[in-house]
Amino acid sequence: MMAAAGSAGGSTYYLWTSGDGEDGQIGNGVAASVSTPVQVGSNSDWLDIAFGDVHGGGVTQDYKLFTWGRGNNGGTGHSNTTGYSSPVQVGSLTDWLQCDFGYDTGAAVKTDGTLWMWGKNNWGQLGTGNQTSISSPAKIGTLTDWRQVSTRRIHTSATKTDDTVWCWGNGDWGANGDGSTTNQSSPVKIGTLTDWAWVDSLHQGSIALKTDGTIWCWGFNHAGQIGDGTTTARSSPVQIGALTTWTQVSGGAYHAGAIKSDGTLWLWGDNEKGQLGNSSVTNESSPIQVGSGTDWSIVECAGRTTWAIKTDGSLWSWGDDREGSLGNGTAARISSPQQVGSDTDWLHLGCGTRNVGALKE
């Protein structure tokens, strides 16, 4: 996921979700899938949202954290393993800023720059120094300079305000980017550079954007998701091409995407369900442009689907439509972008493996 949609202070952002809801992860009060976006409650003050495999959550403009969906391994952070089909506040604190979710795991950064995680921890993906699952948020270390965090099924990555990047969890295929295939149960700094702007986790790896507008990837690469023209796993960051015009990145399970400063959209990696949007199902090991449009604003890769918002505020999706995860009212796979509804007031995306959340005015 990318930066929060807005800032506290009166902006109106409603939450809409669609897709797989059998564990209540749609958040609309029932445990059922929906194939077109439905509004979640009446809150109009969402700031940031995110989804994992089986649950989701968000931060409101008064810095409260809410979660919902499956509670296995304490993934919703409510000090229990109970599932919830509607948003429930995590504790009573009002200092949460950004959140993300993996497979029965949750992560969040607070306004004071501290990092917190909870849920399943079989590979050390919580960064607590052990492999013990926990059902309520635990602070990771004592540092107060974390900027954003991204977690997937068994792996977590994050950046700090000093523009360093850190990884932990399962290290197979070099997923932690530290030059090894070793599991890490505490955050490990990747190299010595201080020019990382943002990082997003893949299923077993990461994609990162530097302050100079370059893209770098590492980890598992069976489908070309690293984007370096090969299917060779990389245990350290490798640059994708030589361009310095990238402005946003997103990682799915086994595919990734990015937007350039000219508004063009590019995708690469696994394309079994048409998630690369090029009207085919052929994997691509280097970035390929999606159509010829120059009006893309936000891209979100998740599972085997891709979602995007254009500069006119319209919402688009393509790829696998399992459990209605494309939000277009059908169960048909789509290999090129298709608009979701006709509204043009979409502002922010948070996608999970088989569902999506989006904010609109």
Note the pLDDT of residue 264: 98
Residue predicted with more confidence, 4 or 181: 181
Taking only the tens place, the pLDDT of each residue in 36-58 is 999 999 999 999 999 999 999 99
Banded pLDDT at 331 (limits 50, 70, 90): confident
Dihedrals φ, ψ of 74, to 5°? 75, 25
Q: Mind giving me the DSSP string for 143-156?
A: ---EEEEEE-SSEE
Tell me the C-alpha to C-alpha distance, in Å, between residue 310 and each of 33, 317, 340. 26, 11, 12
Taking only the tens place, the pLDDT of each residue in 85-106 is 999 999 999 999 999 999 999 9
Q: How many CB atoms lie within 10 A of CB 22?
A: 14
User: With 60 as the cut, is the pLDDT of residue 349 above it?
Assistant: yes
Flag whether the pTM goes above 0.75. yes
Question: Would you say 267 and 246 are in contact if contact means Cβ atoms under 8 Å apart?
Answer: no
Q: Once rounded to an integer, what is the mean pLDDT over residues 348-353?
A: 94
Q: Mind giving me the DSSP string for 156-225?
A: EEEEETTS-EEEEE--GGGTTSSSS---EEEEEE-SS---EEEEEEETTEEEEEETTS-EEEEE--TTST
Dihedrals φ, ψ of 122, to 5°? -70, -20
Taking only the tens place, the pLDDT of each residue in 257-303 is 999 999 999 999 999 999 999 999 999 999 999 999 999 999 999 99
Taking only the tens place, the pLDDT of each residue in 161-217 is 999 999 999 999 999 999 999 999 999 999 999 999 999 999 999 999 999 999 999
User: With 60 as the cut, is the pLDDT of residue 137 above it?
Assistant: yes
Banded pLDDT at 10 (limits 50, 70, 90): low
Tell me the C-alpha to C-alpha distance, in Å, between residue 279 and each of 43, 205, 250, 257, 267. 38, 26, 20, 16, 12
Percent of the chain with pLDDT over 70: 97
Note the pLDDT of residue 49: 97
Average of per-residue pLDDT values in the chain: 95
Q: Which three-class secondary structure state does DSSP give residue 72?
A: helix
Banded pLDDT at 1 (limits 50, 70, 90): very low
User: With 60 as the cut, is the pLDDT of residue 5 above it?
Assistant: no
Banded pLDDT at 332 (limits 50, 70, 90): confident
User: With 50 as the cut, is the pLDDT of residue 2 above it?
Assistant: no
Helices H, strands E: what count in the chain?
0, 28
User: With 60 as the cut, is the pLDDT of residue 129 above it?
Assistant: yes
Note the pLDDT of residue 85: 98
Q: Once rounded to an integer, what is the mean pLDDT over residues 211-229?
A: 98
User: With 90 as the cut, is the pLDDT of residue 6 above it?
Assistant: no
Taking only the tens place, the pLDDT of each residue in 295-324 is 999 999 999 999 999 999 999 999 999 889
CA–CA distance, 134 with 121 (Å, rounded to integer):
8
Note the pLDDT of residue 3: 43
